[in-house]
């Protein structure tokens, strides 16, 4: 008998996992709002608006990083176009925010300011229904999903993979960026959407709104993680990982990789769209530069820094890279690109498993040391005791076979 997914999900995370989830949720929905709203400005535990916005932004990036890990870490597909799906989600939700400005724009018109500027009289057809919150939220998921599905279907069907696929996704986001830069496209051209006033009738700059958005970001991230874990733990995830490791063999067994790749690719794009939709109200602007080639490659480095195929690692990767970006660009703006460039090089050269891998390595080494110490203690008592099988030869402290292995 098959176990329902929901049961597997609950069972899969285990009691400790669910406890951690609950703890994070309590912190996000109770402690952070308290620290932001209740504590006075000078209080050491007060969380400033800046910090909340910054962390909220990074949480959205972290969702994108986890989504990227799903396809790159488990599917072996490196997308250099995920910025497009993120931005499409942002634009979809941004349309709702633009409509919420109502007549409070500089021109006091019913249509957004940039359309007045273009001398348009009414909204183009694709803006219809965008005054509805739910419709825009739906668009933020469906539009990136649909585009990813169409693109992925044709790409995976002709078995484009590896660097070919990466470069073509890059070309895709580049073309989309050029398209959105045009004023005639109807998405504000160069400037994109900005000057948002309210969301669901609440002021977008009010501390309460920010706190709610922050809580939603945390929840989305947790949801993404749980979904990702469930997907990976399922039979689907096993096949996906097998495709990553040896696509031809999986095909010979009788699976069609197209469906597996297409599914995870579309899910990943949809998650990016949701993250984008949450990102825009927190940051207050969306413009075509979000689709730039550099942005999409940066997403890959978040995952690489955090550790591919670990799901949790990319969250730390997104955090580390973006916090250092904030710090560098304010303190030493001219060295940020050097840092980022070196990060790309050094991580791929020396940290192929990322921070999560480093953590695992340190843990393994500790266990090894403990094992050796135990073995020595044993050896002192009983001579010629066998070595611990958990410790491979080359990783021994004075290992002679380390070089050239």
Partner 1 sequence: MKRLLLILSLALGLGAGAVRADVAPEVLKGLASEDFDAKQGAVAALASVGDADAARLLKALSDDAVAVAGDKLVIVAGEQVLDAANGKPLKPAASPDSISLNNSLRQQVDGALAALRLLSADKTERLAAAKALLADMGDGAALLPLFDKALKQEQDGEIKTILVQLQAQASLSSPDAAARLQAVQTLGQSASPAVKALLLPLIEKQGDTFAEPDEKVRLAAQTAIKAIDGRLVWSDTAGQIFTGISLGSILLLAALGLAITYGVMGVINMAHGELLMVGAYSAYAMQALFRSRFPDFVDYYVVAAVPVAFFVAAAVGMLMERTVIRHLYGRPLETLLATWGLSLVLIQAARLLFGAQNVEVANPAWMSGGVQLAENLSLPWNRLVIVAFSGFVLLVVWLLMNKTRLGMFVRAVTQNRPMAGCVGVPTARIDTLAFGIGSGIAGLGGVALSQIANVGPDMGQGYIVDSFMVVVLGGVGQLAGAVWAALGLGVVTKFLEGWAGAVIAKILVLVFIIIFIQKRPQGLFALKGRFVD
Q: Which residues bind partner 1 (CB under 8 A)?
A: 72, 78, 80, 154-155, 157-160, 162-164, 166-168, 170-172, 174-175, 178-179, 181-182, 248, 293, 297, 300-301, 304, 334-335, 337-338, 340-345, 347-349, 352
- The distance of closest approach from Cβ of residue 266 to partner 1 in the complex, given in angstroms and rounded to an integer, is 17
The rounded distance, in Å, linking the Cα atoms of 14 and 175 is: 45
Q: How far is the CB of 130 from partner 1 (least distance, A)?
A: 24
Sign of the CA dihedral with 63 first, then 64, 65, and 66 last: positive
Q: What is the SS3 assignment for 297-325?
A: HHHHHHHHHHCCCCCCHHHHHHHHHHHHH
Identity of the residue, 143 or 155, whose beta carbon is nearer to partner 1 in the bound complex: 155
- Name the nearest CA neighbour of 319 among 47, 60, 37: 60
What is the rounded distance in angstroms from the CA atom of residue 337 to the CA atom of residue 331?
A: 13
Element spanning 354, H or E:
helix 354-381
State the Cα–Cα distance between residues 203 and 269, nearest whole angstrom.
Answer: 29
- CA 360, 364, 365, 370 torsion-angle sign: positive
- Residue from 296, 89, 263, 53 nearest 175 by CA: 296
- Taking residue 271's Cβ as centre, other Cβ atoms within 10 Å add up to 28
Q: How many CA atoms lie within 13 A of 382 on its CB side?
A: 6
Give me the numbers of helices (H) and strands (E) for the chain, helices first please. 15, 4
Nearest approach, Cβ of residue 140 and partner 1 (Å): 23
Compute the least distance from the CB of residue 341 to partner 1, in Å: 3
Instruction: Give the nearest distance from C-beta 161 to partner 1 in angstroms.
Output: 8
- Name which of 222 and 303 has its Cβ closer to partner 1: 303
Nearest to 207 by CA among 35, 25, 23, 91: 35
CA dihedral of residues 239, 242, 243, 248 (deg, nearest 10): -120
Give the nearest distance from C-beta 57 to partner 1 in angstroms: 22
For partner 1, give the closer residue by CB, 361 or 369: 361
Nearer CB in complex with partner 1: 120/174: 174
Structure tokens of 385?
Answer: 């005791």
Shortest Cβ distance from residue 41 to partner 1 (Å)? Answer: 38
Residue 167 vs 233, nearer CB to partner 1: 167
Specify which residues 199 forms β-bridges with: 202
Write down the least CB distance from residue 224 to partner 1, Å.
Answer: 23
CB closer to partner 1 out of 81 and 228? 81
How far, in Å, CA of 196 to CA of 265, rounded? Answer: 31
Supply the minimum distance, in Å, between the C-beta of residue 332 and partner 1.
11
| Least distance from partner 1 to the Cβ atom of residue 147, Å | 13
Residue 99 or 244 having the CB closest to partner 1: 244
Instruction: Please state, in angstroms and rounded to a whole number, the distance separating the CA atoms of residues 280 and 287.
Output: 10
Q: Which is nearer to partner 1, 26 or 178 (CB)?
A: 178
d(CA 179, CA 194): 19
Task: Return the number of the residue (79 or 282) whose C-beta is nearest partner 1.
Answer: 79
- Which one, 180 or 316, has the nearer CB to partner 1? 180
């Amino acid at each position: 008998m098959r176990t329902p997914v929901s049961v597997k999900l609950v069972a899969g995370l285990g009691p400790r996992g669910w406890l951690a989830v609950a703890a994070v949720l309590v912190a996000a929905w109770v402690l952070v709002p308290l620290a932001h709203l209740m504590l006075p400005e000078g209080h050491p535990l007060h969380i400033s608006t800046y910090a909340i916005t910054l962390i909220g932004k990074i949480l959205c990036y972290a969702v994108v990083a986890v989504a990227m890990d799903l396809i790159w870490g488990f599917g072996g597909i490196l997308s250099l176009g995920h910025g497009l799906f993120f931005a499409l989600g942002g634009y979809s939700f941004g349309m709702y925010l633009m409509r919420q400005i109502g007549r409070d724009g500089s021109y006091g018109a019913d249509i957004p300011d940039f359309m007045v500027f273009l001398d348009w009289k009414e909204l183009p057809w694709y803006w219809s229904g965008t005054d509805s919150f739910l419709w825009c939220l739906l668009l933020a998921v469906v539009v990136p999903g649909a585009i990813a599905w169409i693109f992925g279907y044709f790409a995976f069907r002709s078995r484009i993979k590896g660097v070919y696929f990466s470069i073509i996704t890059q070309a895709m986001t580049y073309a989309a960026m050029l398209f959105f830069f045009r004023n005639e496209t109807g998405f504000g051209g160069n400037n994109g959407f900005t000057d948002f006033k309210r969301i669901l009738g609440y002021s977008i700059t009010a501390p309460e709104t920010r706190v709610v958005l922050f809580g939603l970001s945390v929840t989305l991230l947790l949801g993404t993680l749980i979904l990702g874990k469930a997907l990976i733990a399922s039979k689907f995830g096993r096949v996906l990982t097998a495709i990553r490791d040896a696509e031809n063999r999986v095909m010979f067994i009788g699976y069609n990789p197209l469906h597996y790749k297409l599914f995870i690719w579309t899910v990943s794009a949809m998650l990016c769209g949701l993250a984008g939709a949450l990102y825009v109200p927190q940051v207050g602007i969306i413009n075509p530069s979000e689709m730039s080639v550099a942005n999409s490659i940066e997403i890959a480095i978040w995952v690489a820094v955090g550790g591919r195929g670990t799901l949790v690692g990319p969250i730390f990767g997104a955090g580390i890279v973006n916090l250092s970006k904030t710090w560098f660009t304010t303190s030493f703006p001219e060295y940020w690109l050097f840092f980022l460039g070196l990060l790309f090089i050094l991580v791929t050269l020396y940290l192929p498993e990322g921070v999560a891998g480093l953590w695992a390595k340190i843990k393994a080494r500790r266990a090894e040391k403990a094992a050796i110490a135990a073995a020595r203690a044993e050896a002192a008592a009983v001579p010629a005791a066998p070595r611990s099988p958990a410790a491979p030869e080359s990783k021994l402290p004075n290992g002679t076979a380390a070089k050239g292995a």
